[in-house]
Amino acid sequence: MQRFKPLFLSPKHSRITTLPILSHLRNFSSSFLTQNNDSEDLQNQVLVEGNPTSRTAILNRPSALNALNTNVCSRLQKLYESWEEDPNIGFVVLKGSGRAFCAGGDIVALYRLLNEGKVKECKEFFRSAYGFMYLVGTYLKPHVALMDGVTMGGGAGISIPGTFRVVTDKTIFATPETQIGFHPDAGASFYLSRLPGFLGEYLSLTGDKLNGVEMMACGLATHYSPSTRLTWIEERLRKLVTDDPSTIETSLEEFSIADLPEESSVMHRIETIDKCFSHDTVEEIVDAMETEATGSNDELFTSAVKKLKQAAPLSLKVALKSIRDGRYQTFDQCMVREYRMSLQAMSKQISNDFSEGVRARLVEKDFLPKWNPSCLEQVSQDMVNSYFTRLSDTEADLELPIKSREAFV
């Protein structure tokens, strides 16, 4: 069965099976806005393009930057399962319509469900979303994600676990959840914890963005191509008659180019990032970053300190523990743990930070969230540890088909 491809390498993949033939959160706040149009055709939220020996799934909520909801994830799950069983389909492509690949989960919709007391529906979203992400990561056929445009949170969760991850000059990647009182989820604690050094801690705590070139440099992407070449890539993929990953990889490489991150990139500051984010506590990390920002006058460090101080204190400590735990867990273990964490955030038993963050950043947009706890010193270790437990002894964990679909290691 297909295993997780190491993020830092671009190995030639072996044939999988024998067959007949995917600045700051404020700048992106619109990424999460949901368009609650009752007349929206649920079936058309995911379009399908059929080719002789492949299928392309198209996320089709462009007005919401293709944000994920329960319907989208459930439909994708059913489609992918049917394609995996079809011996005439060799590989699958995933793309987005409009200017985004996928902005993540539709968190404004979740916020409204919580306000209406519909916690059950929120749980169903996370079950369906995480279940589909696990399917992508253990898929038996090659998977190509065309990550053109905004790719945040859950958008990364439905693409990074797959075989090929094609980014462009328009790709914008981020995991900005700490800015809304949440935690990097959708498998983030697995793939971020496996980035070089302590870059994963930096990205998860600050929510800073990476462009396509930077994603290639750190291993989050497998191929980089100018967006103007995407039509050529898609045309080539349509004509391929194969189930062989190496054949697909060769085709993608024909349209890929090599580029280096700009001098202003975080990739040129890895030594400092490692020195600051290797500390054991968030308090030490913030102090170290403040020292670097003051001593160097580096705009990136100054911006990072600002983001750390704007984030929810509880979320920062939870995110740090999640990344550190994820470094020693398999993919399925990370997903099960993140499911527990997400339900804790929805339940408001520990804190109301998620609802408050969405309200302040994305709904009312006063950008003045009232975090509780309000500072790092008030966040106890018991609060952090509680975030990683089940809501109750009777609360079911996320069920993944780990016996029939091999987990990542």
**Which entry of 106, 148, 185, 249 is annotated as an active-site residue?**
185
Q: Is residue 185 flagged as an active site residue?
A: yes
Q: Which is catalytic among the residues 154, 200, 326, 357?
A: 154
Active site residue 338: no
CA distance 328 to 4: 15
- The active-site residue out of 148, 177, 292, 332 is 177
What DSSP element (H or E) covers 136? helix 119-137
Q: What is the pTM of this model?
A: 0.88
Known catalytic residue at 155 = no
What does the alpha-carbon distance between residue 22 and residue 142 come to, in Å, rounded to a whole number? 10
Digit-by-digit pLDDT tens for the chain (409 residues) are: 333 343 433 333 332 333 333 233 333 333 333 444 433 577 899 999 998 899 999 999 999 999 999 999 999 999 999 999 999 999 999 999 999 999 999 999 999 999 999 999 999 999 999 999 999 999 999 999 999 999 999 999 999 999 999 999 999 999 999 999 999 999 999 999 999 999 999 999 999 999 999 999 999 999 999 999 999 999 999 999 999 999 999 999 999 999 999 999 999 999 999 999 999 999 999 999 999 999 888 999 999 999 999 999 999 999 999 999 999 999 999 999 999 999 999 999 999 999 999 999 999 999 999 999 999 999 999 999 999 999 888 999 999 998 888 765 4
**From the centroid of its chain, how far is CA 143?**
16
- Has 84 been annotated as catalytic? no
Rounded Cα gap, residues 224 and 257, in angstroms: 6
Instruction: Tell me how far CA of residue 4 lies from CA of 7, 134, 307, 387, 409, in angstroms.
Output: 9, 11, 32, 27, 7
DSSP string, 390-409: -SSTTPPPPP--TTTSPPP-
Give backbone dihedrals phi and psi of 368, rounded to 5 degrees, phi first. Answer: -130, 65
